[in-house]
Amino acid sequence: MDRKLFSTFTIKNTTFRNRVVMSPMCMYSSPNKDGKVADWHLVHYPTRAVGGVGLIIVEATAVSPEGRISYRDLGIWDDEHIEGLQRLVSLIQQNGAKAGIQLAHAGRKADLEETILAPSAIPFATMKTPKAADLEEIQGIVHKFREAARRAKEAGFDVIEIHAAHGYLLNEFLSPLSNHREDEYGGNADNRYRLLGEVIEAIKQEWNGPLFVRISAEEYAEGGNHLEDYVSYVRKMKEQGVDLIDCSSGALVPAHIDIFPGYQVHLSEQIRHQADISTGAVGLITCPQHAEEIIGNGRADLVLLGRELLKDPYWTLHAAKELGVEIQPPKQYDRAF
């Protein structure tokens, strides 16, 4: 039976075997505060590839030590990280999935002892007050994203995703709630976009593969960015060559969010049609029929599963059976199917 969820999807000569994506989720499992891949990662991610996922996006991976959310985050700020990431990529790809990595800087949400950076010296909730980054530090951050992209390419990743969501650094610059600057990086929407725009251009100097950006397309707070603001931002991203927008929401400031199955899908749908760009939908997508409806009705091009794939690494194989689609499981598992 023909199901859109199990159709292939191609971006820049990279073809995903289906539309199911493992959403980036921090594992906080890097040992010794060194940002290196651990045995846990080498089991955790390839298991989902064995389970049939089309694309696995490795968790938020810090482009600098002070850009970690925690001391146990994965890192890509040093060439010493490349070897472990290469091994991880190889294991994912050997099992039929494409490998992506989310490049990230935590900004004011870094839970570290060191000085942390943000657009303005405004803390997140009761967390530590950050230092407002000066112009030299901002350019340093841009350079670090470029170097991270070089390392991601050397490690063999198929996709890079820029983390500009969930209240981390690039999201902080985009929002008037966290960016009170009066220089060229603040004061109006174009200036608040400037850092993300520079990061995109810097990454493109090293990377010509599929480029995604994760956004919080709704900040759920008065005075913050809302869907219409992000449609404008996404049009800029498309002009710069971004291929797909991963549409999440929230986490810039504490807010009440009405959560229900597919509660963020409308963001993906609106951005897909209003900005004319490919999108991914994420957020309490658990049912195969729901995932099929999202793809089949053109509300997104990919569906990203998070906690559901933590609960069931073989969700994709089970979904195929439920939707009446014949797919080939790993030959080692034939007897189970």
Q: Which tokens is 197 given?
A: 């725009």
pLDDT for the residue 1: 63
Helix count (H) and strand count (E) of the chain? 10, 12
DSSP three-state, residue 60: strand
DSSP 1-21: ---GGGS-EEETTEEESSSEE
In sequence order, what E strands does the chain have?
Answer: 9-11, 14-16, 20-22, 55-62, 98-104, 117-118, 131-132, 159-164, 211-216, 244-248, 278-282, 302-305
CA–CA gap between residue 227 and residue 208 (Å, rounded): 28
Give dist(CA 245, CA 212) in Å, integer: 6
- Amino acid at residue number 232: S
Ordered per-residue pLDDT tens for the chain, 337 residues: 689 999 999 999 999 999 999 999 999 999 899 999 999 999 999 999 999 999 999 999 999 999 999 999 999 999 999 999 999 999 999 999 999 999 999 999 999 999 999 999 999 999 999 999 999 999 999 999 999 999 999 999 999 999 999 999 999 999 999 999 999 999 999 999 999 999 999 999 999 999 999 999 999 999 999 999 999 999 999 999 999 999 999 999 999 999 999 999 999 999 999 999 999 999 999 999 999 999 999 999 999 999 999 999 999 999 999 999 998 888 898 888 7
pLDDT at site 337: 77
| pTM of the full structure | 0.97
| Nearest alpha carbon to residue 228 among 185, 189, 282 | 189
Closest residue by Cα to residue 281 from 305, 297, 307: 305
Gap between the Cα atoms of 336 and 317, Å rounded: 11
- Tell me the three-class secondary structure of 239-283, residue by residue: HCCCCEEEEECCCCCCCCCCCCCCCCHHHHHHHHHHCCCEEEEEC
Tokens of 111: 């839970």
Of 86, 8, 98, nearest to 49 (Cα)? 98
- The DSSP 8-state label assigned to residue 129 in this structure reads P
Quote the pLDDT of residue 336.
82
Contact (CB, 8 A) for 337 and 55 = no
Q: Which residues, 6+ apart, have CB-to-CB distance to 184 below 8 Å? A: 191, 194
Residues 211 and 229: their CA atoms lie apart, in Å, by 21
- Considering only CA atoms, give the Rg of the chain: 19
Which of 286, 282, 288, 251 lies closest to 269, judged by CA?
282
Q: Structural domains in the chain?
A: 4-336 (3.20.20.70)
Per-residue pLDDT at 276: 98
Cα 204 → chain centroid: 17
